[in-house]
Amino acid sequence: MVKVGPYSGRLVIPRFAIALWCLALLPAQLWGAGILVNEYYNGSGLVSPGTKMVADEYIEFVIVQESTAASLASLSFGDSNEATSQLQAVFHFDQATLQQALDNAHLSAFLPGTMIVVKGTDLGPQSIAYDPLNGNWDIQLVAGQGALGSTGTKINGAISVGNKGDTVWVSSSLPARNSDTSGFISAIGHTSTPGLIANTVASVFGAANILPTTIPTGTAVANMGDTTVALAATTSPTMGTSNGGQNSLWIDGLRSVGLAPAPEPSRSMLIFGSSAAFIFWRQRKGGLHA
Ligand SMILES: [Ca+2]
Ligand SMILES: [Ca+2]
């Protein structure tokens, strides 16, 4: 990467080398997409045929950096068993559905502050009328339609939030086995008796990412904070909208950055700045891998 210029004799460091060095500082998980688990709801229903998800439950994600349909579709997400000892369901977003939402909005990527809901069949039809430039920031995918079970893994369960415990996660890679958390980029959960997965989430992302309690049906676990997670159990779920308090202030802030009419170089700097803040937060949490 470093060479001596043939004519001047000065030490020349090619610009691409500097760029590569900067990019090498970015964790691999940040390349594809930036997305965090923001809330999940514990219902009492059954799994509808063909959906692999309890019909009255949902998971809510928030996008924290611009993400294309392809990058989001390359991720895996799911839950754990009630004992939080192993992964239970493994899902992925359907790329064509995400692309349709982007086409509806005339955008090439989902903007920071966008919310993606994956829900059971009892919670209304799928909604991909995405239009953040006019205030419509959420899309809602029905399990079995815009969000699909990943059959390429040996883990083939249904998303079913447990009363005793659960963890909901996003991974940059398809888990190789039901204990594989190596690709996790975000996870939250609840349990008073943590198993392997909950313990790993607490050690990688911070103890605050596991709410130390059981929850009854009809209860959501919601992040009331920002990238510094502050979980609360609530009987007032907010499917597809921010969770109030600091969570809403943070997401409003993400949206204002995403909509800022900045020229391209400034916009890149903003994105780099949010990435750097995200990395700092991840490093403060104690690392990326289990
Ligand atoms: Ca449940
Ligand atoms: Ca919410």
The CA 136 to ligand 2 mean position distance, Å, reads 14
The CA 223 to ligand 2 mean position distance, Å, reads 8
* Cα distance between residue 74 and residue 33, in whole Å: 9
Give domain status of residue 250, yes or no.
no
| DSSP state string for 78-123 | EEE-TTSSSEEEEEEE-HHHHHHHHHHHT-SSBPTT-EEEEE-TTS
Identify the nearest ligand to the CA of 243 by its number.
Answer: 2
The CA 219 to ligand 2 mean position distance, Å, reads 12
* Cα distance between residue 266 and residue 51, in whole Å: 43
The CA 129 to ligand 2 mean position distance, Å, reads 18
* β pairing state of 219-223 and 231-234: antiparallel
Question: For residue 257, what pLDDT is reported?
Answer: 84
Give domain status of residue 144, yes or no.
yes
The DSSP 8-state label assigned to residue 287 in this structure reads -
Give domain status of residue 72, yes or no.
yes
The CA 147 to ligand 1 mean position distance, Å, reads 19
The CA 216 to ligand 1 mean position distance, Å, reads 8
- Helix ranges (DSSP H) in the chain: 15-24, 29-32, 69-73, 95-105, 196-205, 245-259, 264-284
Please count the structural domains in the chain.
Answer: 1
Q: Give every strand in the sheet of 115-119, ordered side by side.
A: 138-142, 115-119, 58-65, 34-42, 219-223, 231-234
Question: For residue 259, what pLDDT is reported?
Answer: 75
The CA 32 to ligand 1 mean position distance, Å, reads 31
* Cα distance between residue 228 and residue 248, in whole Å: 13
Give the torsion sign (CA, 175, 177, 180, 182): negative
Q: Enter the pTM of the model.
A: 0.81
The CA 41 to ligand 2 mean position distance, Å, reads 9
Tokens of 73: 């579709």
The CA 46 to ligand 2 mean position distance, Å, reads 22
Give domain status of residue 25, yes or no.
no
Identify the nearest ligand to the CA of 160 by its number.
Answer: 1
Identify the nearest ligand to the CA of 241 by its number.
Answer: 2
Question: For residue 183, what pLDDT is reported?
Answer: 97
- If the chain, 290 residues long, is cut into consecutive pieces of 10 residues, what is the mean pLDDT of each piece? 40 48 42 82 93 97 97 98 97 98 98 98 98 97 96 86 98 95 97 98 97 98 97 98 98 88 51 51 48
Question: For residue 275, what pLDDT is reported?
Answer: 53
Give domain status of residue 76, yes or no.
yes
Give domain status of residue 136, yes or no.
yes
Where in the sequence is the domain holding 200, given as residue range(s)? 34-239+259-284
Q: Residue 280, Cβ neighbours under 10 Å: how many? A: 11
The DSSP 8-state label assigned to residue 48 in this structure reads P
- CB-neighbour burial class of residue 61 (10 A; exposed 0-12, middle 13-18, buried 19+): buried
Give domain status of residue 19, yes or no.
no
Give domain status of residue 20, yes or no.
no
The CA 82 to ligand 1 mean position distance, Å, reads 9
